[in-house]
């Protein structure tokens, strides 16, 4: 069966406003384009681009996402302490180094601005991304029957952001060299973030302070990770997920 990648991005005065992508069958193209247009035009824009490309490389079909576990805390400090201890256990990186990396995400990791993509950190705590302002973006991932999964998640109190972040982190964590991920949203009122491990997607609330405009992701990778292969996988390998696992 033929699948197409559909990517939308919009901007205003060259500042990014909105971006989203899907992988769909030809029969779903028209609805998807309309949906992405609606999404991209919710806020003022002076540029909106929708790119449609047939996928020619083999698609990796994944049966289930990481298992979702939701944990609530009294404040971001408590949630981040949980995240730090979990990451320390998963990566072996000392707490002090982890704390510094996480602080960067909360305060603007690209010279005081948000990085566009994720930071890559090896198990010695060293940053490996090719460009520290841009970072790396995971793309080419979606669900089969996205609408069905979206409805299921929303009914259970999750959000569309959960749906997208869960797909992205599932693609990340099935890659053998990625050990864990840390994420907070750059949306100032979206306080739920997550730590993903090989098995779980730990949703942590609140992981950031209300009103904070900063956000981003850190991918923790093994020390001998081949960076070119990692970039190629994250950006170019199409992944379709069949089902969602709620713990």
Q: What is the nearest approach in angstroms of ligand PML to the Cβ of residue 185?
A: 3
Q: Report the alpha-carbon distance of residue 136 to residue 217 in Å, rounded.
A: 9
220 φ/ψ sector (left φ>0, alpha ψ -120 to 50, else beta):
beta
Q: Is 147 in the site for ligand PML (CB under 6 A)?
A: no
Instruction: Choose, by CB under 6 A, the member of 48, 159, 227, 245 that binds ligand PML.
Output: 159
Instruction: Choose, by CB under 6 A, the member of 106, 171, 203, 208 that binds ligand PML.
Output: 203
Instruction: Choose, by CB under 6 A, the member of 91, 138, 185, 225 that binds ligand PML.
Output: 185
Peptide bond into 206 cis (omega under 30): yes
Q: Which of 3/239 has CB closer to ligand PML? A: 239
Of 208, 227, 207, 11, which is closest to residue 135 (Cα–Cα)? 227
Q: What is the nearest approach in angstroms of ligand PML to the Cβ of residue 21?
A: 13
Q: Which of 3/182 has CB closer to ligand PML? A: 182
For residue 225 the two structure tokens come to 């990770």
Instruction: Choose, by CB under 6 A, the member of 126, 187, 226, 242 that binds ligand PML.
Output: 187
Q: What is the nearest approach in angstroms of ligand PML to the Cβ of residue 194?
A: 5
By CB under 6 A, which span of 33-41, 52-60, 128-136, 192-200 interacts with ligand PML? 192-200
Q: Report the alpha-carbon distance of residue 114 to residue 107 in Å, rounded.
A: 8
Q: Report the alpha-carbon distance of residue 109 to residue 215 in Å, rounded.
A: 9
Of 174, 173, 141, 140, which is closest to residue 183 (Cα–Cα)? 173
With beta carbons less than 8 A apart as the criterion, state whether 40 and 20 touch: yes
Instruction: Choose, by CB under 6 A, the member of 182, 194, 214, 220 that binds ligand PML.
Output: 194
Q: Is 183 in the site for ligand PML (CB under 6 A)?
A: yes
- DSSP string covering 131-179, please? -TTT-B---SEEETTHHHHHHHHHHTT--HHHHHHHHHHHHHHTSTTEE
Taking only Cα atoms into account, the Rg of the chain, rounded to an integer number of angstroms, comes to 17
110: DSSP letter: B
At 97, is the secondary structure helix, strand, or coil? helix
Site string for ligand PML, 89-118 (x = CB under 6 A): ------------------------------
By CB under 6 A, which span of 23-31, 46-54, 179-187, 229-237 interacts with ligand PML? 179-187
Q: Is 139 in the site for ligand PML (CB under 6 A)?
A: no
Number of residues forming the site for ligand PML (CB under 6 A): 12
- Chain residues that interact with ligand PML, rule: CB under 6 A: 159, 161-162, 165, 183, 185, 187, 190, 192-194, 203
């Amino acid at each position: 069966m033929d699948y197409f990648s559909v990517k939308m991005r919009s901007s205003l005065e060259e500042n990014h406003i909105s971006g989203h992508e899907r992988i769909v069958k030809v029969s779903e193209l028209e609805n998807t384009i309309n949906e992405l247009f609606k999404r991209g035009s919710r806020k003022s824009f002076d540029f909106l681009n929708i790119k449609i490309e047939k996928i020619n490389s083999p698609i990796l079909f994944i049966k289930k996402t990481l298992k979702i576990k939701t944990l609530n805390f009294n404040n971001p400090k408590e949630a981040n302490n949980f995240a730090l201890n979990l990451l320390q256990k998963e990566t072996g990186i000392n707490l002090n180094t982890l704390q510094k990396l996480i602080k960067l995400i909360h305060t603007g990791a690209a010279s005081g601005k948000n990085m566009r993509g994720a930071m890559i950190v090896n198990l010695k705590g060293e940053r490996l991304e090719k460009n520290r302002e841009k970072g790396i973006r995971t793309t080419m991932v979606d669900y089969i029957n996205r609408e069905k999964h979206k409805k299921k998640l929303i009914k259970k109190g999750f959000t569309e952001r959960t749906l997208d972040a869960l797909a992205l982190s599932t693609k990340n964590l099935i890659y053998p060299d990625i050990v864990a991920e840390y994420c907070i949203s750059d949306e100032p009122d979206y306080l739920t973030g997550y730590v993903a491990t090989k098995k779980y997607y730990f949703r942590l609330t609140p992981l950031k302070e209300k009103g904070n405009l900063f956000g981003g992701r850190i991918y923790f990778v093994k020390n001998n990770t081949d960076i070119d292969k990692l970039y190629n996988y994250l950006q170019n390998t199409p992944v379709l997920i069949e089902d969602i696992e709620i713990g």
